[in-house]
Structure 1
């Protein structure tokens, strides 16, 4: 068995980003930039007023009260075309450009207005309530860098920079192949010895939430011809993920069958709980991850290995969820040689840290505890027993993984 870190390193080092495409910014959210983006305009393009009031020369209002002649008006979308001289002012509204000659805004609350004049009752320093030209960004300035996963905020930034189209990495296509005679889809007739197939649905949801494209190839039966035929559907995908069939039993056929079709195995067992029978290899140029069949194992392995792999494929730095301290609400026994990811829930807070309670059963078939879990307690190999109140490292599920 190899360590979790070595397995992760082997997977990520073998991958490269998928090809790119150009899309309108309306379709860019969640995609990863394939090139730096430079602004096509200066924002704001001129000095603008940040408030409703009067545009004045600061030199004219050093002593107040003072009466200034109002010679015009400037509103957003229009401008005052003349020049403001000594003793003059222009009525101005939020977002309007400052008239030539002015450098300061006096808000209307600090004035007394008449038809053609305004009394300034409170002084203001030069530049007060002025949004200077280029205060946000300037034409030619790099606004967003290659490798950035675009957020809704970034879409607004792109629009402000006058960028209607962007070149991004296309959505990576991940083919999912479930295996096992015992599996049926939700809602289908179910035999006495069968169970509902859940793994592909869970992993597909994670892939889609992370910006990838999940391709469900279906459920292969436990025979060579079925597995070979259905795996051929991954030829156009960027990665094949098998779910089940990666262990050492007589009916776990993935390695033996696909090995005849060109599958080259890098590793197939790791020192991890849950998830020991994880497999990684290359099927005729297509990276392949073989997930364990137990649902908790496949989901946690997807957290640890598939999500950062998807990041690489989509042209961004691999994700690494933060491990934060928490306090145990009970004693915890020592760990063995495998790195452990234990389902837990946050039940309170103490000294500014979350208090966590592990589920009594960590069986890797229990989806109810996986659904109820709010975090994973990570334990290193051979970790010593801990008493109630000890500090452990946890990974927040909702904050660390897309859609979780």
Structure 2
């Protein structure tokens, strides 16, 4: 397994974002190998292939970059719908050395060849302009698909058209395909390019994607470990442990032009080979409680959700202006330092410091340095230059004295010292260094984050697509708000409440409407939802009565768990999967539905959305009420703060919807028994802690 890189020589010390390789034999992975540049990597690979051929062994050689482009590109570039012709074209036109390559210029050349406007390649990562290669997506024309069919099915992949910025793989593809073409030339007839050629030669080249076993990689990556090294070891070991029949099924793919990712669609088998003890993907019993568990404590239920759910949203790249509130999908690395060069923090006069104690007179150098209009020369020693706030400091200036502290006249500037070297200036990169990772995946992007990303030279960012969550109300007694309610009917308060809550959580709410107490109608609605959303919240029908059709259908599908949670307000919480989509069956009572959504669904949806598990923050305040609580259940009281004390709603009845509107948060009372008197400390969770 090879983790490839399109960048420059990374130096002698092992580091991330470099080239790593690992050999595994008989299920045992050798120590990962650090290869500082592509020349060394090619030599290492050629020697490995030669040794294996000489020993009469077969070799499966995996690389983590696409072997093909979206359909139509090969013919447009080479005149033939043959991906191997693209390999040859890249090898002929790519100029590469440890110090760098012409990948950006090559992308511009291809864009110019394929049409009049910029596209499909984008993101010029160099300081100079490149004809045909735009820096962003503005004006881009792409006659091909953004992603291959394989990438549309694999989470965490990136488009091959992006040449720079976070998650860019465009350079990896160009340099990687050129390498593969040269290796095939070194060993004629010995290397098969899968899936374009049958895997029946001594050496088979395959495309891999380590994220298919990301759970194992994350579990094995400890403090100080280099993730790339862990990835190649985990993937190589997994592939070498596969049973021949399993590997045969993975290789049985028809993808004549775009290529395919080995193991895609067989993640469970690949995960099992990577680590038999690794947590499995979501399956029908992913919500199953341990044997013998009846009433489930709140903390135990939360721990089960946290351990068993994983992200289900894929990535996309957006301009910064459209990324607010989205979940970051990949680390963000600074393209340049901030500040990019030393500059002045004030209006004043710059010189080479320090300045001694006492009066100082310096002749003025002609000209000035202003923000966006730097001084073009060198300031001679012993002279000063007029500088304005934010201006780049020219050579010969490292210290600035403020306007307010100087006298100017007769071509001189005078002031009183002492003044330390570097006074009133900002060092280059003192905020962010070039190449520094400034934000990690899983972060929900704020306006401040977008400002930081823009300041280090990025115009786009890789984010996760919004998690789509459907909301469905059930029951014959439910009618639409504003409609005419007959005898025994009530207005649907839950659906509008839950949809609004989801919008505040940062996911994409989808209104699935309401269905009567009709099992076939409910089945049809869930079937439709499974192709539209990635999670479902239902209200009503989640218990075990005759008309509780949500739990009944999930039970029929073999995917129901009824959690009897030791919680008040709240009844059994039905959890299950419908065609692979998690379903949270909430109580029909609005107060219980809201509390269960805040305490259980919100953090679970955060995991599914890729933002991680979110604990609400709480404050301890004096109680403005008295209550005797029995042990056994955790209780949540509708509450608000007045004069720094927590008041609770006059009634604990879960049918009192007015209490939700009255409240500003919840008072949480722990599982044990307690007698609360006014002034005693209680734990208050404001609704703002949940994003409401």
Residue equivalent to 2:634: 339
2:552 to 256, 264, 272: 256
Query: What is the CA-CA distance between 1:99 and the residue it aligns to?
Result: 2.0
The structure whose residues are more often strand, as a share, is 1
Write out the 4+ residue segments of structure 1 that deviate beyond 6 Å after TM superposition: none
Residue equivalent to 1:6: 300
Residue equivalent to 2:564: 269
Residue equivalent to 2:440: 145
Alignment of 1:191-202 (within 5 A): 191-202=486-497
Query: What is the CA-CA distance between 1:92 and the residue it aligns to?
Result: 0.7
CA distance in 2 between partners of 1:221 and 1:268 (Å): 24
Alignment partner of 1:303 is 2:598: yes
CA distance in 2 between partners of 1:315 and 1:300 (Å): 23
> What is the CA deviation profile of residues 235-287 of structure 1, one whole-angstrom value per residue up to 9, with x for unaligned ones?
12211211111123322221113433x15112332111111221111223111
Query: What is the CA-CA distance between 1:119 and the residue it aligns to?
Result: 2.1
Alignment partner of 1:102 is 2:397: yes
2:671 to 374, 377, 381: 381
Greater shift in the superposed pair: 45-54 or 201-210? 201-210
Q: What runs of 5+ residues in structure 2 fail to find an aligned partner? A: 1-294
CA distance in 2 between partners of 1:61 and 1:389 (Å): 62
CA distance in 2 between partners of 1:115 and 1:196 (Å): 84
Alignment partner of 1:397 is 2:691: no
**How big is the alpha-carbon RMSD for the aligned residues of Structure 1 and Structure 2?**
1.7
Alignment partner of 1:322 is 2:617: yes
Counterpart secondary structure, 1:193: coil
Residue equivalent to 2:468: 173
CA distance in 2 between partners of 1:28 and 1:20 (Å): 12
Query: What is the CA-CA distance between 1:396 and the residue it aligns to?
Result: 1.7
Query: What is the CA-CA distance between 1:59 and the residue it aligns to?
Result: 4.3
CA distance in 2 between partners of 1:358 and 1:239 (Å): 33
Query: What is the CA-CA distance between 1:22 and the residue it aligns to?
Result: 1.8
Alignment of 1:80-119 (within 5 A): 80-114=375-409, 116-119=411-414
In structure 2, do the counterparts of structure 1 residues 13 and 267 end up closer, same or farther at CA, with 3 Å as the change threshold? farther
The question of whether the paired residues in 2 share the 8 Å contact of 1:60 and 1:87 is answered with no
Query: What is the CA-CA distance between 1:62 and the residue it aligns to?
Result: 4.3
The question of whether the paired residues in 1 share the 8 Å contact of 2:631 and 2:674 is answered with no
Greater shift in the superposed pair: 208-217 or 250-259? 250-259
In structure 2, do the counterparts of structure 1 residues 299 and 198 end up closer, same or farther at CA, with 3 Å as the change threshold? same
Residue equivalent to 1:239: 535
Residue equivalent to 1:226: 521
The question of whether the paired residues in 2 share the 8 Å contact of 1:263 and 1:283 is answered with no
How many residues are treated as equivalent by the alignment? 396
CA distance in 1 between partners of 2:485 and 2:544 (Å): 26
Q: What runs of 5+ residues in structure 1 fail to find an aligned partner? A: 350-354
TM-score normalised to the size of structure 2? 0.55
The question of whether the paired residues in 1 share the 8 Å contact of 2:355 and 2:418 is answered with no
The question of whether the paired residues in 2 share the 8 Å contact of 1:71 and 1:88 is answered with no
1:370 to 646, 654, 660: 660
Counterpart secondary structure, 1:268: strand
Alignment of 1:49-88 (within 5 A): 49-59=344-354, 62-88=357-383
The structure whose residues are more often helix, as a share, is 2
Query: What is the CA-CA distance between 1:204 and the residue it aligns to?
Result: 1.4
In structure 2, do the counterparts of structure 1 residues 263 and 54 end up closer, same or farther at CA, with 3 Å as the change threshold? same
Query: What is the CA-CA distance between 1:293 and the residue it aligns to?
Result: 0.3
Alignment partner of 1:292 is 2:582: no
TM-score normalised to the size of structure 1? 0.93
CA distance in 2 between partners of 1:103 and 1:90 (Å): 11
Query: What is the CA-CA distance between 1:310 and the residue it aligns to?
Result: 1.3
Greater shift in the superposed pair: 180-189 or 304-313? 180-189
The question of whether the paired residues in 2 share the 8 Å contact of 1:375 and 1:394 is answered with yes
1:26 to 300, 321, 326: 321
